[in-house]
Amino acid sequence: MQTVDLDNIGQIVKAHAMSSSVINPAFNPDELADKSILVTGGTGSFGHAFVRRILETTRPKRLIVFSRDEMKQYEMEKLFPESKYSCMRYFIGDVRDVSRLETAMRRVDIVVHAAALKHVPAAEYNPFECIRTNVHGAENVVSAAIRTGVHKVIALSTDKAVSPINLYGASKLASDKIFIAANSLSVGLPVFSVVRYGNVLGSRGSVVPFFKELMMRGAEFLPVTDNRMTRFWISLEKGVDFVLSSLTMMQGGEIFVPKVPSMKVVDLARAIAPHAALKEVGIRPGEKLHEILITADDARNTFELPDRYMVAPAIGRWWTQDYYDKIGAKLVAEDFAYASNTNSHWLDTTELLRLLAN
């Protein structure tokens, strides 16, 4: 099993507690220097922000963008050309293809798995495609990482994976289970963990650019599914920083959940377009009124830190209690649940606009 520097982790957690920010970058850039890093789905919103963050803070040996769309790779390469960033590599491939993943992961140290089919209605209409990418793709990433000797794999999840009511959420729940159980197959290396957070402000396909586009088109109103609807919100940059800090802290099998604010969707719409009319159009099939990041059933395995929760694996013993004691993590109350409508931290308009400006 890969060892964890508990003294260093303890210092990081103390720094978190002293920080005024909700999520403080907790990774040491030197840890990624001269490492080979691969990000699946690397041409998406997260991939762009992740690559930019890595290039701004450290110089890895290789930074590999793995995705299946050559046009998106072409556009991304213009932003991050190999002529300027010698570490950059652009690798066309699909997570459905395990042999291609194995080729891409040769001599790779760290894998960040961000590839997924994420559009809820599209997943409902194309269930086989959703399963092939989100579930079989997760299996392929695990298999390829084990066979090629990757050191760490961290997978991005979603609040929709918790008590799912749509296929996208169910497929991501299955994906989470695959990555957690993968620690039993790898016998120490790689170690696998999961990061789970809510809606990303301003990411491609999110409600913020959708509302902005409607206003630019001169729409008479903004559609709001239900005036009571709440969601967790996180900025793209904070999401990237949280993934990087979780890479530092992971032992294997944890689900890392950031402490993030909630906001009503109707209040979000009013903040973006204060003078626009709003129209309640009803909840779409497969859509929840509120989202959950941690259920009460998971509380018995959930530990709290100043900036995050960690859901420890219910099976396996890849983690140790000493680790959680050292970093000051405490078990949450037995009746604890982390839901967007009962969250203690709520976004106001000022904070929302500040996050959108980042």
For residues 36 and 291, give the distance between their C-alpha atoms in angstroms, rounded to a whole number. Answer: 35
- Ramachandran assignment for 316, one of left (phi > 0), alpha (psi -120 to 50 degrees), beta (any other): left
Please, which residues have CB within 8 angstroms of residue 295's CB and are 6 or more apart in sequence?
162, 163, 337
**The pair of three-digit structure tokens given for residue 131, joined into one six-digit string:** 């399963």
CA distance 60 to 151: 15
40 φ, ψ to 5°?
-80, 150
**Active-site residue, 160 included:** yes
* Cis amide bond preceding 127, omega within 30: no
Catalytic residue among 118, 152, 160, 264: 160
Q: ∠ CA(327), CA(28), CA(147), 5° rounding?
A: 90
CA distances from 191 to 4, 140, 179, 199 (A): 11, 15, 9, 26
How far the first Cα of the chain sits from its last, in Å, is 38
| Closest of 88, 45, 30 to residue 64, by C-alpha | 88
Compute, in degrees rounded to 10, the torsion defined by CA atoms 192, 254, 206, 231.
170
Return the active site residues.
160
